[in-house]
Amino acid sequence: MQIHKNISLINHNTFRVDNSAETLILIENDEDLGNLLKDENYSLKSKFFLGAGSNLLITRPIKGLTIKNIQTSIKIVEENSEFAIIEVDSGLEWHNFVSFCLDNCYYGLENLALIPGLIGAAPVQNIGAYGVEQQKYFDSLICIDLNTGQQKVMYGNDCNFDYRHSIFKQEEYKSCFITKVRYKLKKSFEPDISYKDLKIFFQDKTNIQAKDLFDAVVEIRNNKLPNHNETPNAGSFFKNPILDENQLKDLLTIEPNIVYYPIQNNMFKVSAANLIEKAGLKGYRKKNVGISIKHSLIIANFGNSSGEEIYDFAKFVISVLIDKYKIRLEPEVIII
């Protein structure tokens, strides 16, 4: 276990916001959490779980304990001719796991290549991209309730997965520290190119292989999204709003050419990026905070902006869309 006092988190969040953690604890092995729970001062302190900081906006110094798993092992726990169940430490980079699966012929996650963040954040956020969400291949996870010390195994039905949502966002589950995640992946490859960008990319191609799909997703993401190492950002800042039929009709009277997709139960997912672009905000900046010219869902830190300044800019974007479209965008990024 590594313990750091009053440490800057500028290298632990992709917005590169320079706020500090009162105590940063890095978990190096399975015994560390048990030892932490035995500390008589532990229960008196607040706890915050930190991943790669790639879907996070820190607006203040973090008091109490900031806990991060840095274990990165991968283990095959079951395998036959059709599938494999792979257990991954929550501290491993998600993209590294996708690359491992591709290299070892375990298929299904190709559409999720290059998503920043750690494995532990994947079920919390129910990450998804290019027509696939992680829940499709999720098997189970192991977590420890750091309030009680109880270890739990949770399966897909336990996690209440929804669009960028899981049970771990509910107050009673926020004390659950995910240590390992298991995915059930196929041994035979079936490309999913249902997403528009992938359909276009592969329109003249046949016999698509897993590496082809993986490479296509990487290329598309690199072309559309700014690299957070060059332009600090936390990926898509806002969720796509979900509207009912009447709300969609009202929106179409204001903006007839808006991009939307039908989903279940006569509901519709509207492109937040398209809304922001139609509102004239793509590339718009206030001082050192602004919307990327590459993608209008990306709020970027173009200088040494504080978390508060970035949050104020996000609230400005929300207010513009309320005034123009009567739609309130919800942040996808976790704001603390």
Annotated catalytic residues are 164, 236, 332
Residue 331 φ then ψ, to 5°: -65, 140
Between strands 62-69 and 20-27, the pairing is parallel
Is residue 4 within 8 A of residue 28, CB to CB? The reply is no
CA atoms of 321 and 271, how far apart (whole Å): 13
CA atoms of 34 and 95, how far apart (whole Å): 29
CA atoms of 31 and 288, how far apart (whole Å): 43
Is residue 232 within 8 A of residue 16, CB to CB? The reply is yes
Nearest to 311 by CA among 295, 334, 277: 334
Match 């395998």 to its residue by tokens: 79
Grouping H, G, I as helix, E, B as strand and the rest as coil, residue 83 is strand
Sign of the CA dihedral with 89 first, then 93, 94, and 100 last: negative
Q: At what angle do helices 245-254 and 307-325 cross, to 10 degrees?
A: 90
